[in-house]
Amino acid sequence: MQKYLVEKVPFKDGFIQFQVSGSGDPLVLLHGFLEDLSIWNKMINGLVSEYKIVTIDLPGHGKSSCFDDVHSMEDMAEAVKAVLDELQLEKIIIAGHSMGGYVALAFAEIYPEFIIGLALINSTPYPDSEEKKLNRMRAVEAVEYNLKNFVSLSIPQLFAPENRTRLKDNIAALKDKAILMKQEGITAALKGMKDRPSRVQLIKNGSFPTLIVFGREDSVVDIERLKKLDSIDEVTVVELEGGHMSYLEALNDLSYYFMRFIENL
């Protein structure tokens, strides 16, 4: 069984928890909203023999501290940088699921010299629409009113309808973890996602190879806009079965395309 080294690094007035496994070229994996670093455990198994895997609990998630009323994607990117500095890593492949992809994009914009390749899994470089921004603030109110109810309603909606029964145990486990999160960490992330800028130009610049993966029934990202990015030379767009949770709904296919992407970097 693969052994994981769990560590903490000071950041602002708290700390960031991260996990390191394997050896080789550094691969940094960032979880999404209401998740923690453990979401990558199944994917890690096929990668640890060739890569040094770094997974991180982003601010306000998992066991990492909550720092502010708003956790901007740039602030979260600085938390990632603190971990990389601790590990003395300077060239990385970075991947993020959903919100983790927003953080990966922010990191790539601030520290482009670090990036060998970037993977967006059920994520997008486009900013929130005005309607989506309103929904973020409604979500903040819902979390403040009843966190358990918000979690119970929102997490199943991320999965394609046909997968909700098949993956009911995974959904229950995600709910159980999310309910234990600090309320202020959840609302800070919602506000940070709402305010994030467009990073489409970063992708179009073609400074590094980019993989974009989404589910055919993903209701969170704008699939048609993502498909158009496939015309950019350095961008590969892949459509999988399922919804917004490809690391559970389409694990084998996601692992295949992800490994093919990083092997060619």
| Position 1 confidence tier, pLDDT thresholds 50, 70, 90 | very low
Q: What is the DSSP string of 161-206?
A: GGGTTTTHHHHHHHHHHHHTS-HHHHHHHHHHHHTPPP-HHHHHTT
Residue 182 neighbours by CB distance under 10 Å: 14
CA proximity to 139, closest of 151, 127, 123, 125: 151
Q: What is the pTM of this model?
A: 0.97
pLDDT at 44: 92
Segments forming the whole domain that contains residue 171:
5-263
pLDDT at 245: 99
Indicate if the pLDDT at residue 11 is higher than 50: yes
Q: How far is the first Cα of the chain from the last one, in angstroms, to the nearest whole number?
A: 28
DSSP 3-state assignment of 239? strand
Provide the strand spans (E) within 12-147: 14-21, 25-30, 51-56, 92-97, 115-121
Kind of pairing between the strands at 14-21 and 5-11? antiparallel
| pLDDT of the residue at 72 | 99
Contact 236, 230 (CB under 8 A): yes
CB atoms within 10 A of CB 142: 18
**pLDDT tens digits for range 118-157:** 999 999 999 999 999 999 999 999 999 999 999 999 999 9
Q: What is the mean pLDDT of the chain?
A: 97
Any bridge partners for residue 14, and if so which?
11
- The arithmetic mean of pLDDT across residues 179-191, rounded, is 97
Q: Is the per-residue pLDDT at 2 higher than 70?
A: no
> Is the pLDDT assigned to residue 56 strictly greater than 60?
yes
Please report, as a single letter, which amino acid is at residue 74. E
Assess whether pLDDT exceeds 80 at residue 3. no
Strand partners, 239: 214
CATH number reported for the structural domain that contains residue 174 in this entry: 3.40.50.1820
Q: Residues 214-232: what's their mean pLDDT?
A: 97
**In this predicted model, what pLDDT tens digit does every residue of 224-253 receive, in sequence order?**
999 999 999 999 999 999 999 999 999 999
The counts of H helices and E strands in the chain are 11, 8
pLDDT over 60 at 263, yes or no = yes
With CA atoms as reference, report the closest residue to 154 among 181, 115, 121, 120. Answer: 181
**Quick one: what percent of the chain has pLDDT higher than 90?**
96
pLDDT at residue 5 in the model:
74
Share of the chain above pLDDT 70, in %: 98
Please give the tally of structural domains in the chain: 1
**For the stretch 207-220, what's the b/e string if a residue is b when 16 or more beta carbons lie within 10 angstroms of its beta carbon?**
ebbbbbbbbebbeb
| DSSP track, 196-210 | PPP-HHHHHTTSS-E
